[in-house]
Amino acid sequence: MEITVDGRKVRIRSASTVADLLGALKLNPEETLVKVNGKLAPGGKRISPKDSVRVMRVIFGG
């Protein structure tokens, strides 16, 4: 599985859903957007080793 977090590639042993992946990366799901194969994905979305996953942290503030 190809995983990119904020523009840098990372490796994860295993994750079956987007929520599992965010947990393994220790990222808050309320502060991230996840794209699987180019499409926004909710936490329950299943992911496989063939998928391309892009995780982007959302910036808050004003």
Question: 49 is in which domain, residue-wise?
Answer: 2-57
The predicted-structure confidence for 5-60, as pLDDT tens digits, reads as follows: 999 999 988 889 999 999 999 999 999 999 999 999 999 999 999 999 999 998 87
Bridge-based pairing state of the strands 52-57 and 32-36: antiparallel
CATH of the domain at 39: 3.10.20.30
The total of structural domains in the chain comes to 1
Domain contains 62: no
The secondary structure of residue 7, as a DSSP letter, is T
Residue 21 lies in a domain: yes
Residue pLDDT, tens place only, 14-29: 889 999 999 999 999 9
